Amino acid sequence: MNKQKWIDYALSKGFDSFEIYQNNLEEKNITYYQREMESYVKSHVLGIALRGLYQGKMASISTEDGSDENMEKLIATMIEQAQATTSSDSGVILEPMTTEEATKENRFIRPDASSIDKTFKEIEDKFYAYDERVFQVTDLFYTEQASVREISNSREMHVKDASQVQAVIAGVAVKEGDEIKNSFNVELLYDVNEFDTDAFVKKAADKALNKLHATSIPSGTYPVVIEKDAMTSLFTAFSGIFSGDLIGKGISPLKDKLNEKIFADNITVIDDPKNTDALVICNYDDEGYPTSRKTLVDQGVFKVMLHSTSSAMRMQMESTGNGFKQGYDSPVGVRPKNCCIVPGEKSFDELLEEMNEGLVIEGFQGLHAGINMASTNFSLQCSGYYVKDGKRDKSVTLITAAANFLELMKDAKAVGNDLEWKTETIACPSILFKGIAISGE
């Protein structure tokens, strides 16, 4: 793509400023089933997104064909878009900005096909040897992704960065009598020669085996520890409440709540796209705005909301460098990046001891549907185990947990020290809550 040609043409057609965003993604996925390679997927996709400010209105479009013959048509479409847009909070195409850049060492070493073959056969054999109740290795999946992001604009910005990820995913089913349970495990694969297949198999198999003989429990209000992975998924589902876009539009439950107490004293939330503990770091957001560390909630008090240039303009504030896209083919939105609840001091076992009797929730299902972002009410299928005298008791399944998220977060009694950054850009430690409504038998 001749970027300068496109920029010059857009400016000649009346655009005040113009941006070209490119994402070059190479991906390889390999699936094994019954010790044989079942599927191999290879891809190379170049995605292009264009944004331009035309008579004070922002137009945006994505394409997978950046050839010059498309130029006139796409830019004409953008002009029509800008003319039909009525909101004046358009955001800006930025001049180059500088920041103290963080760096993260790339520890991923590409495995060759024979090492994957050897490792997967070893994993499958170890699953079946681990416990006679393992009756099927349902999924064995390797994925590697390498992407390069580039942002160039008519104001002479040029931002470029790259990221790489490699991971192994396994699914296992266990059976006892007629009862079948399953589980999945995802681990990053830095160096296939150092990958601990025993630990990987143990983690996935134990997770599934522990679910056997699970029963429901009577409906009632129970003290709960929401285990770190489940807490991460719940917090992620509600992370939109910090969006300055939704707050500015008046459709976030945190509108008018800045500097008010929204969570318990022991909850502090930090968003830091440069946090090198996280899988991928970003020195600039998808608008080229420098990212920074922000304390969104400080000891329960709502201090900072997240902004892109557009949402910041609406509220006459500054961008926080959180203008991120979901993919190159989506508009810039407001999203947290490497956001976490700051860990406390108690270990997971100490949280159970403090609870003494109650429930541990290990996973929520249906998070895409069972939450209401306006009211923050949720009612979700979940599973886990009962705790008696501070120790694990019977496994529990087919129950729901229902609460109001903001009310629940005010009831946090203790925060665990087990925060762990994995593949997600949001992470939480385990948290002990006073009580949650459980529906079961």
Partner 1 sequence: MLEKKKLEEYLNRCMDSNADFAEIYEEKELSETINMLNGSVENIFTKNTFGVGIRLYKGLQAVYGYANETDDETLIDLIDDLRDALGKEEKSSDVTLERVEYENRHPVRIRFDEVSLADKTDLLKRANDAAKAVDERIVKVDGTLLNVRQEVQISNSEGKLISDTRVRTRMMVTAYSQEGNNFQSGKDTPGGGMGLEFFETTKPEDIGKEAARVALVNLVAKDCPSGKMPVVIDSGFGGVIFHEACGHALEATSVAKNQSVFSGKFGQKIASDVVSAVDDGTIPNAWGSQNIDDEGNFQKRRVLIKDGILTSYMIDRLNGRRMHEESTSSSRRESYMYEPTSRMSNTFICEGNSEFEELFEGIEKGLYAAKMGGGSVNPQTGEFNFAVLEGYMIENGKITYPVKGASLIGKGNEILFNIEKVGKTVRRGQGMCGSMSGSIPTDVGQPPIKVSSIIVGGTANE
Footprint on residues 259-318 left by partner 1 (CB under 8 A): none
Residues between 402 and 431 that touch partner 1 (CB under 8 A):
402-404
Nearer to partner 1 by C-beta: 167 or 419? Answer: 167
**Member of 1, 9, 16, 37 binding partner 1 (CB under 8 A):** 37
**Member of 331, 342, 386, 434 binding partner 1 (CB under 8 A):** 331
Residue 33 binds partner 1, judged by CB under 8 A: yes
Tokens (6 digits) for 394: 């019977």
- Dihedral-angle region of residue 90 (phi above 0 means left; psi in -120 to 50 means alpha; beta otherwise): alpha
- Between helices 113-130 and 197-209, what is the axis angle to 10°? 40
Nearer to partner 1 by C-beta: 194 or 441? Answer: 441
The least CB distance from residue 355 to partner 1, in Å, is: 19
Size of the site for partner 1 (CB under 8 A): 74
C-alpha 100: how far from chain center: 25
Residue 10 binds partner 1, judged by CB under 8 A: no
The least CB distance from residue 431 to partner 1, in Å, is: 19
The least CB distance from residue 423 to partner 1, in Å, is: 18
Judged by CB under 8 A, the stretch of 32-40, 97-105, 144-152, 412-420 that binds partner 1 is 32-40
* 339-231-429 Cα angle (round to 5): 65
Residue 42 binds partner 1, judged by CB under 8 A: yes
Tell me which H or E stretch contains 242.
none
* Cβ-contact 92, 313 below 8 angstroms: yes
Q: What are the residues whose beta carbons fall under 8 Å from the beta carbon of 314, sequence distance 6 or more?
A: 89, 244, 245, 248, 249
**Member of 68, 72, 220, 388 binding partner 1 (CB under 8 A):** 220
Give the Cα separation of 346 and 413 in Å (integer): 11
Nearer to partner 1 by C-beta: 151 or 270? Answer: 151
**Member of 97, 148, 317, 398 binding partner 1 (CB under 8 A):** 398
Q: Which three-class secondary structure string do you get for 343-382?
A: CCCECHHHHHHHHCCEEEEEEEECCCCCECCCCCEEEEEE
What is the largest distance, in Å, between two alpha-carbon atoms of the chain? 74
Give the Cα separation of 384 and 174 in Å (integer): 17
The least CB distance from residue 11 to partner 1, in Å, is: 20
* Cβ-contact 257, 278 below 8 angstroms: no
Residues between 165 and 194 that touch partner 1 (CB under 8 A):
173, 180-182
Give the Cα separation of 28 and 26 in Å (integer): 7
Residues between 336 and 375 that touch partner 1 (CB under 8 A):
365-366, 368-370, 372-375
The least CB distance from residue 391 to partner 1, in Å, is: 26
Give the Cα separation of 401 and 84 in Å (integer): 45
Alpha-carbon Rg for the chain in angstroms:
24
Give the Cα separation of 203 and 194 in Å (integer): 17
Residues between 68 and 127 that touch partner 1 (CB under 8 A):
74, 77, 80-81, 83-87, 89
Residue 249 binds partner 1, judged by CB under 8 A: yes
Nearer to partner 1 by C-beta: 166 or 311? Answer: 311
Give the Cα separation of 386 and 360 in Å (integer): 6
The least CB distance from residue 79 to partner 1, in Å, is: 11
**Member of 401, 412, 427, 432 binding partner 1 (CB under 8 A):** 401
Residue 199 binds partner 1, judged by CB under 8 A: no
